[in-house]
Chain A
Amino acid sequence: MTITSLSDLKALKARIDQSASDKVKILMSLGTCGLAAGGSKVVDAIEETMASQNLGDKYEAVPVGCMGLCYCEPTIELRDNSGKSIIYGDVTAEQIPAILKAGLTGAPAGTTVVERTWYYPEDEANTQKALQARIALRNTGRINPELIEDYIQQGGYQALGKVLSGMKPADVSQLVLEANLRGRGGAGFPTGKKWQFAAAQPKGKKYMICNADEGDPGAFMDRAVLEGDPHSVLEAMTIGGYAIGSDTGIIYIRAEYPLAITRLRIAIDQAREMGFLGKNILNSGFDFDIELKYGAGAFVCGEETALIRSVEGRRGEPTVKPPFPAVQGLWKHPTVVNNVETYANVAAIIRKGAAWFKTVGTAGSPGTKVFALAGKVNHVGLVEVPMGTTLRDIIFNLGGGISKGRAFKAVQTGGPSGGCITTKNLDTPIDYETLKAIGSMMGSGGMIVMDEDDCMVNIARFFLEFTCDESCGKCTPCRIGNRRLYEMLTDICHGKGTPQTLVELRNLALVIKDTALCGLGQTSPNPVLSTLTNFADEYEAHVNEKRCPAGVCERLVRFTINEKCVGCGVCARNCPVTAITGATKKRHVINQDKCIKCGICFEKCMFKAIDKQ
């Protein structure tokens, strides 16, 4: 069936609403992590229980995307039409019969009930105030991503209808600019401005690209949106296409996200069938279609000029700006590249207006940001909070504090381009500017929490190793400079650093920041600079005392033999460098000058007589 006007669409929504059953919905979270955590066993149990107990007229099982509660997958939510709901975490197949028997009357004993920590600003503006506000994730975890009807029921494609039936292209860009929606990929450039630049170019071929090459280790919000609400991205790209005068959209997606690819393909087919993509959309004379292009594993392709080269089938090496892609991009045509999360906000802004969007977030950065909370935190998962929320609220309230009761040390935001933030900045309300001011950056929203067992020098080294792997090699500061930074950090971790190394480290980092060609190179020294500033004492301990305070750097570990030694000689026999000596049945000694810290003695000792410090 083809929808040819906004009123058609509204009539369809009314029909879907009317025919919606009053059954209790069982929302089953089935994103990549839900499935990996054993979600399909729970699904089988639900289907089996419903069949064997004839619960088909009471319940409706709905597979949905990620609810963001990754720490307690598999999760399910029971919800009726009035909004009454119970969310269960860590669900097992055995619990299902009891859960379904109890329904919404209460949770059976032995199950884990999860508190809902979010609200939906779009339709629950003043009813609930929770820490999380879900705009970009408004549908993920709530609808079946493989059914376009579910999306339409949530008001889907009405923004497109509104745009095509009464707004001029320039009005659309202006509205997005007024809402001050900023690029959620990390740099925070105003999306409306980007659209205006491209719209101002002479008529002709133009491209609307979606950057779904989520390469930032520790970030998975784009995957959640694509797996849980693919239509919102398609709708926003079509709106953007109308605003800039483009008829072709391209989604550049990582080949590592097979489930997201499948769901996007389904969504594109459905949208074409209903006439939301293709020729003469909603009878407006506007044509737009979307194709998928696969990435092939290159972090630098998140940089827009590199991404464009990759779509062209070349090595993903960035090019010098200007010319900006909005002027000369894919195949030399004006091109807009926006991130998945940015697109996920667009339809809501069009429907509710710029003023509404600005009621959430801060003055300079309206709206919300999705963070992928991971690392040493109890509640690992996705959170979407208004801009201006403090890190303390995110880590200690939403994140449930540090795992295993350890002490918080730092949180790393912005991935390999960002920095580490310490306790003293936990109460800073975060947006694009404040994060930059405290030496980190928004980045795509990865947030890795670290505790006292993490060595910050080693973390900086980890990021530099990543950058060296991912540097495209085009410009010297990045190709050789980062390699040199990595070597210096390795020296420090191996106890070969001197105070002079620290001076050189900082100097070189600053030079790379100033001289590298693209965003990857210019930001790659951030992990080094921020740890040098915030954890100077750790660097000094490595360099001056040859000691790793967190006990992580193996080469700086000291093995000693304590009084539990019975003199069995196992350690001495296994030591590859004969650093252990001692008479039989007497306490042995490790010669620290000879020891290569291999740890074999530690593993072989049966009497816990070897101390590792």
Chain B
Amino acid sequence: MSCDCCGKKDKALEKLMKLEPKKTTELVAFIDSLPLGNDIDANRGCLIETLHRAQTIFGYLPAEVQQLVSESLKITRSEIYGVISFYSYFTDKPIGRHKINVCCGTACFVKGANRIVDEFKSKLGIKEGETTPDKKFFLGVLRCVGACSLAPVVMVDDHVYGKVTPEMVSTILADYQD
């Protein structure tokens, strides 16, 4: 990859390579496997897929990664940021090693999801959308994981906990002692 106008080697790639060589190589390999070309519209069709992969690799979408995606897909940084900020799944802030998501869908709401959120907040000492100072836990809320029969539901990484009570919160946290 090189710049279209001056032929210089990409800054974003170099910078990322220094910071996170392994992750960057993985992302570059994925981008290289995409059917990219000069048709921006067609490239754009791969954007969300690329961001999904990048977030899986890096855990979030830092500015350098956005820049790399921008250069590879020939889509402006501003547009990429627009997409990231639009979809709740994407984040440009680093998040904890374990993602706690409390479901606040309707079924969970009427079964007291708010109390679960409050309990996590007080146990972890952070608010929704924040990460603990030791970078261990991220606390978020989401709208319905579709397991309404188990309401209220908490998802930690890919694991679903059902029929959660405030008393269970400390047990859930204890499952993630690393």
Residues of A near any B CB (own CB < 8 A): 32-33, 35-37, 70-71, 73, 214-220, 223, 255-258, 293-299, 310-316, 331, 372, 374-376, 380-381, 412, 415, 446, 448, 450, 454, 459, 462-463, 466, 469-470, 472
Do B110 and A376 have beta carbons less than 8 Å apart? yes
CB contacts (< 8 Å) of B117 on chain A: these are none
- B12-20, B23-31, B146-154 - the one binding chain A: B146-154
> Complex Cα distance A257/B142, Å?
13
> Complex Cα distance A294/B44, Å?
14
Do A258 and B158 have beta carbons less than 8 Å apart? yes
Do A32 and B147 have beta carbons less than 8 Å apart? yes
Do A257 and B45 have beta carbons less than 8 Å apart? no
Residues of B near any A CB (own CB < 8 A): 41, 43-49, 51-52, 82-83, 86-90, 105-107, 109-111, 142-151, 153, 158, 160-162
Offer 5 A-B interface pairs, CB within 8 angstroms, sorted by A: A32-B145, A73-B149, A218-B106, A256-B142, A312-B41
CB distance from A212 to the nearest CB of B (A): 11
CB contacts (< 8 Å) of A223 on chain B: these are 146
- With contacts A258-B158, A331-B41 taken as known, whether A36 is within 8 angstroms of B106 at the C-beta atoms is no
CB contacts (< 8 Å) of B107 on chain A: these are 217-218, 374-375, 380, 448
> Complex Cα distance A385/B48, Å?
37
Closest to B56 in A: A255
CB distance from B141 to the nearest CB of A (A): 10
CB distance from B145 to the nearest CB of A (A): 6
Do B45 and A311 have beta carbons less than 8 Å apart? yes
CB distance from B100 to the nearest CB of A (A): 15
- With contacts A297-B89, A298-B87, A312-B44 taken as known, whether A257 is within 8 angstroms of B146 at the C-beta atoms is yes
Do B147 and A312 have beta carbons less than 8 Å apart? no
- With contacts A220-B147, A374-B106, A448-B110 taken as known, whether A297 is within 8 angstroms of B47 at the C-beta atoms is no
Do A255 and B52 have beta carbons less than 8 Å apart? yes
Do B148 and A372 have beta carbons less than 8 Å apart? yes
> Complex Cα distance A573/B21, Å?
57
Closest to A466 in B: B143
Q: Which of B47, B87, B106 contacts A448 (CB 8 A)?
A: B106
CB contacts (< 8 Å) of A311 on chain B: these are 45
> Complex Cα distance A33/B148, Å?
8
- With contacts A296-B52, A297-B88, A298-B88 taken as known, whether A312 is within 8 angstroms of B45 at the C-beta atoms is yes
CB contacts (< 8 Å) of B51 on chain A: these are 296
> Complex Cα distance A404/B151, Å?
15
> Complex Cα distance A296/B164, Å?
26
- With contacts A255-B89, A293-B49 taken as known, whether A374 is within 8 angstroms of B41 at the C-beta atoms is no
CB distance from A160 to the nearest CB of B (A): 27
> Complex Cα distance A256/B158, Å?
9
Beyond A374-B149, A381-B149: 4 further Cβ-contacts under 8 Å? Answer: A217-B143, A255-B89, A257-B146, A296-B51
Closest to B147 in A: A33
Closest to B83 in A: A315
CB distance from A330 to the nearest CB of B (A): 9
Closest to B104 in A: A217
Do A375 and B87 have beta carbons less than 8 Å apart? no
> Complex Cα distance A298/B142, Å?
11
Do B86 and A316 have beta carbons less than 8 Å apart? yes
CB contacts (< 8 Å) of A314 on chain B: these are 44, 83
Do B88 and A296 have beta carbons less than 8 Å apart? yes
CB contacts (< 8 Å) of A35 on chain B: these are 160
Do A446 and B87 have beta carbons less than 8 Å apart? no
Do A462 and B106 have beta carbons less than 8 Å apart? yes
CB distance from A322 to the nearest CB of B (A): 22
Q: Which of B87, B147, B150, B153 contacts A297 (CB 8 A)?
A: B87
> Complex Cα distance A469/B44, Å?
25
CB distance from A441 to the nearest CB of B (A): 15
> Complex Cα distance A380/B162, Å?
13
CB contacts (< 8 Å) of A216 on chain B: these are 144
- With contacts A296-B90, A313-B48, A374-B149 taken as known, whether A218 is within 8 angstroms of B105 at the C-beta atoms is yes
> Complex Cα distance A481/B125, Å?
34
- With contacts A297-B142, A454-B110 taken as known, whether A217 is within 8 angstroms of B88 at the C-beta atoms is no
- With contacts A313-B83, A331-B41, A472-B86 taken as known, whether A296 is within 8 angstroms of B146 at the C-beta atoms is no
Do B150 and A462 have beta carbons less than 8 Å apart? no
CB contacts (< 8 Å) of B148 on chain A: these are 70, 218, 220, 372, 374, 380, 446
- With contacts A216-B144, A217-B144, A466-B143 taken as known, whether A37 is within 8 angstroms of B89 at the C-beta atoms is no
Closest to B50 in A: A313
Do B106 and A415 have beta carbons less than 8 Å apart? yes
Do B106 and A446 have beta carbons less than 8 Å apart? yes
Do A296 and B110 have beta carbons less than 8 Å apart? no
Do B146 and A214 have beta carbons less than 8 Å apart? yes
CB distance from A383 to the nearest CB of B (A): 12
Q: Which of B83, B87, B89, B161 contacts A36 (CB 8 A)?
A: B161
> Complex Cα distance A374/B161, Å?
17
CB distance from B85 to the nearest CB of A (A): 9
CB contacts (< 8 Å) of B162 on chain A: these are 33, 36-37
CB contacts (< 8 Å) of B109 on chain A: these are 217, 462
Closest to B141 in A: A469
CB contacts (< 8 Å) of B48 on chain A: these are 293-294, 296, 310, 313
CB distance from A452 to the nearest CB of B (A): 12
Closest to A379 in B: B149
> Complex Cα distance A450/B110, Å?
8
> Complex Cα distance A294/B52, Å?
8
CB contacts (< 8 Å) of B142 on chain A: these are 256, 297
Do B44 and A313 have beta carbons less than 8 Å apart? yes
Q: Which of B44, B111, B145, B149 contacts A71 (CB 8 A)?
A: B149
CB distance from A184 to the nearest CB of B (A): 16
> Complex Cα distance A218/B107, Å?
6
CB contacts (< 8 Å) of B86 on chain A: these are 298, 315-316, 472
> Complex Cα distance A167/B43, Å?
38
Do B158 and A33 have beta carbons less than 8 Å apart? no
CB distance from B33 to the nearest CB of A (A): 15
- With contacts A33-B162, A294-B52 taken as known, whether A313 is within 8 angstroms of B47 at the C-beta atoms is yes
> Complex Cα distance A295/B52, Å?
9
Nearest 9 CB-CB pairings of A with B: A70-B149, A217-B105, A296-B87, A220-B146, A313-B44, A313-B47, A374-B107, A217-B144, A297-B88
Do B46 and A313 have beta carbons less than 8 Å apart? yes
CB contacts (< 8 Å) of A463 on chain B: these are 106
CB contacts (< 8 Å) of A310 on chain B: these are 48
Closest to A301 in B: B87
Do A36 and B147 have beta carbons less than 8 Å apart? yes
CB distance from A14 to the nearest CB of B (A): 37
- With contacts A220-B148, A256-B142, A374-B151 taken as known, whether A296 is within 8 angstroms of B89 at the C-beta atoms is yes
> Complex Cα distance A543/B31, Å?
58
